[in-house]
Amino acid sequence: MLDAADALAAFRDRFVFDDGDRIYVDGNSLGRLPGDTPARLAARVDEWGARLVTAWPDWIDLPIEVGDALAPLVGAGPGEVLVADSTTVNLYKLVHAALDVRAGAIVARADDFPTDRYVLQGIAAARGRELRLVGDVTAALEPPVALVCLSHVDYRTGRLEDLPAMTAAAHAAGALALWDLSHSAGTVPVELDAADADLAVGCTYKYLNAGPGAPAFLYVAAQLHARLRSPIWGWFGQRDQFAMERPYEPVDGVGRFLAGTPPVLDLAAVEEGVRLTAEAGVDRLRAKSVALCDLIVAAHDAWLAPLGFELGSPRDGERRGSHVSIRHPDAWPICRALIERAAVIPDFRAPDSIRLGVAPLYTSFSDVWRALDRLRRLVEAGEHRLVDAATARVT
């Protein structure tokens, strides 16, 4: 039994399973609630109640402190990561900062995650830069290129980008490399410093299990701190913040990318999610994630392909993140039926993909096996033809 041999099996007990018979294979969208998070959040709330502003000396460095805790998970050093704002806002800050110091176009994938494309489109329009949204990034690096912006793991297919190689290709074209780690942080080893990456952002509510809308992280390589600045000049990035008379002069270090008052309560949940991930270790998480996804691929081949499914993800685990997409012309009603009639929670990505995400901290081999078995039975019985496909979408 694969679960019996799973060195990470005990971590499942560190999460809340209040959802009965449901099988959750959507940790790639929103991670589960860690068991210790409610108490940590409650303690932070109590601290607000009891200490009020006198607690600010303990809170004010939290974005950097939590960033330092997160940094080893993405191959960054101390003082290179901070946690605040959303992934979208952080991406916005770093793209502008990059364009300040590099002339030329922005290169990104035409099928990248929407908010990444939107941010790039908006900034390209505002700054009069060419935006090359392409299928083949390597072929689109004709200089001058200012910035190459890529997702480490593709949100739809799970395809894992070669971060060191693409970073080197960006540099060879004279560009900075900016990575969106939303779908890799916490399940795929990321070596930002070792790959000489310049910039990165990522969310904490997927595999880092920090809760819906939890603050995101950003990374700026140490050697770039002095040259880059945020387009959003805010008081939390200001040198000697409480000497309020002065003109804006950003602090040294990654803290210059802070803007407004950081979300103190939420940072407690990020701390707990990061702590659990670090305790398990990204290498062990990666090994289990690949094995879980391999099981999905095997089940697809044996059970689903005969039912009209196609694999929408790389077959090779080395080239895949922590979810597997399976494609079917009836993906949308199948997805609804899985949720409503089979108590399996995946997610749907238009036009025809069902994403099955595995979160190696808490997804078991039995979860995967049972989810795929329910899926097979459901489609064999034609139950997806019984749901109202017009019902609201799961996000």
Catalytic residue set: 113, 180, 205-206, 355
For residue 313, the tally of other CB atoms under 10 A from its CB is 27
- Rounded Cα–Cα distance for residues 351 and 125 (Å): 28
Q: Is residue 390 near its own copies by the rule CB under 8 A?
A: no
**Residue appearing with tokens 């490399």:** 177
Closest alpha carbon to 77 in 193, 195, 204:
193
Question: Peptide bond preceding 231: is omega within 30 degrees of 0, i.e. cis?
Answer: no
Nearer to its own copies among residue 86 and residue 303 (C-beta): 86
101 makes contact with its own copies (CB under 8 A):
no
18, 21, 283, 318: which one binds its own copies (CB under 8 A): 18
- Does the protein bind its own copies through residue 135 (CB under 8 A)? no
Does position 329 interact with its own copies (CB under 8 A)? The reply is no
- Toward its own copies, which CB reaches closer, 84 or 160? 84
- Closest approach of its own copies to the CB of residue 85, in Å: 7
Q: Buried b vs exposed e over 328-364: b needs ≥16 C-beta within 10 Å? A: bebbbbbbbbbbeebbbbbbbbeebbbbbbbbbbbbb
Length of the chain in residues, anyone?
395
Sole binder of its own copies in the list 3, 7, 103, 118 (CB under 8 A): 118
SS3 for 108?
strand
Q: From the CB of 48, what's the least distance to its own copies, in Å?
A: 5
53 binds its own copies (CB under 8 A): yes
Q: What is the closest distance, in whole angstroms, from the C-beta atom of residue 338 to its own copies in the complex?
A: 12
Beta-sheet pairing, 81-83 with 23-24: unpaired
In sequence order, the 6+-apart residues with CB closer than 8 A to the CB of 12 are: 361, 362, 364
Q: Which residues contact 325 (CB under 8 A, 6 or more apart)?
A: 156, 157, 158, 311, 312, 313, 349, 353, 354, 355, 356
Size of the site for its own copies (CB under 8 A): 84
In this chain, which of 345, 361, 375, 378 binds its own copies, going by CB under 8 A? 345
- Binding its own copies (rule: CB under 8 A), the pick from 6, 68, 80, 85 is 85
CB of 286 to its own copies, least distance (A): 23
Rounded to a whole number of angstroms, the minimum distance from the CB of residue 183 to its own copies is: 14
Name which position in 26, 68, 180, 367 contacts its own copies (CB under 8 A).
Answer: 26
86/75 Cα distance (integer angstroms): 21
- Give the largest Cα separation in the chain, rounded: 71
Selected binder of its own copies within 38, 143, 144, 308 (CB under 8 A): 38
Stretch that binds its own copies, among 25-33, 66-74, 166-174, 218-226 (CB under 8 A): 25-33
Select from 67, 75, 158, 215 the one that contacts its own copies (CB under 8 A): 215
Residue list 274-293, contact with its own copies (CB under 8 A): none
Shortest separation between residue 257's beta carbon and its own copies, angstroms = 12
29: contact with its own copies by CB under 8 A: yes
227 touches its own copies (CB under 8 A): no
> Which member of 173, 199, 228, 269 binds its own copies (CB under 8 A)?
269
Q: In the range 175-204, which residues lie near its own copies by CB under 8 A?
A: 203
**Cross-strand partners of 147:** 106, 176
Q: 243: Cβ–Cβ under 8 A, 6 or more apart, which residues?
A: none
| Contact call for residue 89 and its own copies (CB under 8 A) | yes
Kindly give the interhelix angle for 264-280 and 282-299, rounded to the nearest 10 degrees. Answer: 80
Q: Is 92 in the site for its own copies (CB under 8 A)?
A: yes
Contact partners, residue 184, CB within 8 Å, separation at least 6: 152, 153, 160, 190, 202, 321, 322
Judged by CB under 8 A, the stretch of 4-12, 121-129, 159-167, 368-376 that binds its own copies is 121-129
Between 34 and 314, CB nearer to its own copies: 34
* Cα–Cα distance measured from residue 233 to residue 323, given in angstroms and rounded to the nearest whole number: 37
